[in-house]
Amino acid sequence: MSAIEREARNASINRLSAHAVGIVNGIRVLGYDPVTQRRGDAEEPGTGSAGRWGNHYFVLTAKHVVEKATPSDLRLFFCANGRVEYRRPSELRADDIVDAVPLRDEGAVIHRCEWEDLAVITMSGPVPKVEYFDAVNEWTDPPVGELLHYVGFPLDYGQLVGKRMVGQQEERTIALYPTVFSTAVLPPPTEDELRFKVTAFDPRDHYLVGFDDATKGVHPRGISGAAMWWESEQKELIWRPRFEFAGVCSYKQGSVVQVVKAFVVRRFLAEVFGPANGGPGGSVAL
């Protein structure tokens, strides 16, 4: 890889990470312990993305990520927009690890979709140094075979950074690492796959992508709520990475991830915030 290609790659990763939000739901559930490889009492992690609908700023995620939570039950980690040095999870230093910030905004509200696995968290105002994507204008519903990217916080890539005894139980602290994945839109599932492998799938509202890291023994838990991104090939005088929103990760089935299409997400946002201008073409088409 040439120096220019490396700089372009890092710029793209930085741009995607600027939208990404790590979400920790403080409601403890019978979850998965990546250290012991067994189920245990845990806080549930997930992923979100920072977006705006007109003048409304929000964090978009999957509804099951914020299950049973109030805003005060959530802790958020924003990947600041700026030049960073990239390391593998195993190379993280103590200075690289920061705590997710409790959501103590009294004006924060969790809006849950009644008909799809979607939710938005609204706050009193935008968070500094975070890049909010334009959900009104910067979106697409990709065809089969199209290459996509997303940033998630998979629990299996987390690093053990501390442990202590609480009564008779050992409590572990895991650092979640924002990881960029690339994938492609898969063909619609067969009838057999719909019956036995894919749940709640509707080809009008969803599409499937592969999770290649499953071949390494990595489970996609923790990427729920991550936004899918399509990279535009539009030529510009000064190059910069340009991505369009392409949906939200929802259910996982082994090496396959189900994605809620962008137009469905926009329909939910219109329910929450009301109609917004759709650019030169007029209002949002639902």
Q: Find tokens 């004006």 and name the residue.
A: 107
The pLDDT of residue 281 is 32
The pLDDT of residue 34 is 52
The pLDDT of residue 29 is 63
Q: What is the pLDDT of residues 4-58, one digit of tens each?
A: 555 555 556 677 788 889 898 888 665 655 555 555 555 678 899 999 999 999 9
The pLDDT of residue 129 is 72
pTM of the full structure: 0.81
Residues of the chain predicted below pLDDT 70: 1-13, 28-43, 80-100, 158-166, 168-175, 196-197, 199, 233-241, 277-286
Burial, 167: exposed, middle or buried (Cβ in 10 Å; 0-12, 13-18, 19+)? exposed
Query: What residue ranges in the chain does DSSP mark as E strands?
Result: 20-33, 38-53, 56-61, 74-78, 101-102, 109-112, 119-122, 133-134, 147-152, 159-166, 169-175, 179-184, 206-210, 227-231, 243-253, 256-260
Q: Find tokens 């209002």 and name the residue.
A: 283
The pLDDT of residue 147 is 93
Q: What is the 3-state secondary structure (H, E, C) of 3-45?
A: HHHHHHHHHHHHHHHHHEEEEEEEEEEEEEECCCCEEEEEEEE
Q: Per this entry, what is the length of the chain?
A: 286
C-alpha 29/C-alpha 33 separation (Å) is: 11
